[in-house]
Structure 1
Amino acid sequence: MSFEPDSLGRLLLRRAAAQPDDEGLVFPGTRLTFRQLERRAMELARALVGIGIEPGDRVALLMPNCVDMVRAIFAGSLVGAVLVPINARYKRRELGHVIGHSGAVVVLTTDVVAEHVDFLELLLDSLPELSYSPGGELAAPSAPALRHIVVFGEPRHSSIRDSRWLEDMAAGITADEVLGRQDAIEVGDDAIIMYTSGTTQLPKGCVLTHEAVTRDWAAYAYRMELERGDRMWAPCPMFHMAGLGPLTSAVGVGATTVSMTHFTPDEGLQQVREEQLTHLHSSFPQITAEVLCHPDRQPDDLCSVEVVMNVAPPEMQRQLWATLHSGARLVSIFGMTEAAGAITMTTPDDPPEAVVTTCGRPLDGVQLRIVDPETDRLVTAAGEPGEIQFRGFNAMTRYLDDPERTAETILADGWVRTGDLGRLDGVGRLTYFGRLKDMLKIGGENVSPLEIESHLGAHHAVKLAQVVGRPDDRYREVPVAFVELHAEAEASEQGLIDHCTGQLATFKVPREIRFVSDWPMSATKIQKYRLREHLVGDS
Structure 2
Amino acid sequence: MRGHDGEAVVGEATEWGSIGGLVRDAAVRYAGTEAVVEGRTRVSYAELGARVERSAAACLADGVRPGDRVAIWAPNSLDWIVAALGAVSAGAVLVPLNTRFKGAEAADVLRRSGARLLFVTGTFLGTSYVAALRRALAQGPGLPDLERVVVLSDDAPADYRTWKDFLAGGEAVDAREVAARMASVPGSAPSDIVFTSGTTGRPKGAVITHAQSLRAYDIWAELAGLRHGDRYLIVNPFFHTFGYKAGVLACLMRGATMIPQPVFSTDTALANIAAERVSVLPGPPTLHQSLLDHPARDSHDLSALRLVVTGAAVVPLRLVERLRGELGVATVLTAYGLSEASGIVTMGRRGDDPALIAQTSGRAIPGTEVRVDAPPGTPGEILVRGFNVMRGYYEDPAATAEVLDASGWLRTGDVGVLDPSGNLRITDRLKDMFIVGGFNAYPAEIERTLGLHPEVRDVAVVGVPDPRLGEVGLAYVVRHPGTRLTSDDLIAWSRREMANYKVPREVRFLPELPRNASGKVVKGELRGR
What is the CA distance between 1:420 and its match in structure 2?
0.7
In the TM superposition, residue 167 of structure 1 has moved relative to its aligned partner by 3.3
Pairwise CA distance, 1:302: 2.2
**Of 20, 42, 51, the match for 1:40:** 51
How big is each residue's C-alpha offset from its partner over 1:337-374, in whole Å with a ceiling of 9 and x where there is no partner? Answer: 111111101001312211111111010001100113xx
**Mapped partners of 1:407, 1:92: distance in 2:** 30
Distance change (3 Å), C-alpha of 1:521 and 1:52: farther
1: CA distance between counterparts of 2:475 and 2:124? 41
Structure 1 counterpart of 2:131: 121
- Equivalent in the alignment of 1:368: 370
Corresponding position: 1:65 with 2:67: no
Provide the aligned C-alpha RMSD in A. 2.8
User: 1:333 — aligned with what?
Assistant: 335
Match of residue 391 from structure 1: 385
Kindly state the Cα deviation for residue 18 of structure 1 after the two structures are TM-superposed.
1.1
Q: Tell me, in whole angstroms, the C-alpha distance in 2 between the residues paired with 1:270 and 1:309.
A: 20
Aligned letter for 1:211? A
Q: Which shifted more, 178-187 or 324-333?
A: 324-333
Question: Contact 2:233/2:258 (CA < 8 Å) preserved in 1?
Answer: yes
Aligned pairs for 1:113-262 within 5 A: 113-114=123-124, 116-128=126-138, 141-198=141-198, 201-245=201-245, 246-262=247-263
Contact kept, 8 Å, 1:94 with 1:203, in 2: the verdict is no
* Unaligned 5+ runs, structure 2: 1-7, 435-449, 477-503, 509-529
Aligned to 1:408: 402
Q: Give the direction of change, closer, same or farther, for the CA distance of 1:314–1:124 in structure 2 (3 Å limit).
A: closer
C-alpha deviation, 1:331, in angstroms = 0.5
- 1:60-108 deviations in whole A, cap 9, x for unaligned? 0010001110101210111000000000110033112101001100111
> Compared with structure 1, are the counterparts of its residues 200 and 295 closer, same or farther at alpha carbon in structure 2 (3 Å cutoff)?
closer
Report if aligned partners of 1:78, 1:179 keep a CA contact under 8 Å in 2.
Answer: no
Aligned twin of 2:88: 77
Please give the alpha-carbon distance, in whole angstroms, between the structure 2 residues aligned to 1:437 and 1:196: 15
Residue 115 of structure 2 corresponds to which residue in structure 1?
A: 104
- Between the aligned partners of 1:265 and 1:420, the Cα distance in structure 2 is 30
Q: CA deviation at 1:154?
A: 4.2
Query: Cα gap change, 1:28/1:531 in structure 2, threshold over 3 Å: closer, same or farther?
Result: same
Look up the SS of the partner of 2:506 in the other structure. helix
Please report the TM-score for the alignment, with normalisation by the length of structure 2: 0.79
The answer to whether structure 1 residue 437 and structure 2 residue 431 are counterparts is yes
| Distance in 2 between residues matched to 1:128 and 1:536, nearest whole Å | 48
The 1:285–1:115 alpha-carbon spacing in structure 2 relative to 1, beyond 3 Å, is: closer
Instruction: Please give the alpha-carbon distance, in whole angstroms, between the structure 1 residues aligned to 2:412 and 2:121.
Output: 34
1:463 match: none
Which is worse superposed, 70-79 or 147-156? 147-156
Deviation at 1:109, TM superposition (A): 1.1
Deviation at 1:163, TM superposition (A): 2.2
Q: SS at the partner of 1:193?
A: strand
1:255 maps to a residue whose letter is A
- Which of 1 and 2 has higher RCO (CA within 8 Å, sep 6+)? 1
CA separation of 1:187 and 1:156: change in aligned 2, threshold 3 A = closer
- Take 2:131 and 2:254, find their aligned partners in 1: how far apart are those partners? 39
What CA distance in whole angstroms lies between the structure 2 residues aligned with 1:437 and 1:418? 11
Unmatched segments (≥5 aa) in structure 1? 131-140, 373-378, 441-470, 483-518
Q: Can you list the C-alpha shifts for 1:461-518, whole angstroms capped at 9, x where unaligned?
A: xxxxxxxxxx9988865999x9xxxxxxxxxxxxxxxxxxxxxxxxxxxxxxxxxxxx
Summarize the Cα distance change of 1:214–1:366 in structure 2 as closer, same or farther, 3 Å threshold: same
Distance verdict in 2 for CA 1:125–1:327, change over 3 Å: closer
Residue identity matched to 1:184: S
Q: Which residue of 2 aligns with 1:537?
A: 506
Task: Tell me if structure 2 keeps the 8 A contact 1:212–1:339.
Answer: no
2:344 to 321, 324, 342: 342
**What displacement does 1:286 show?**
2.4
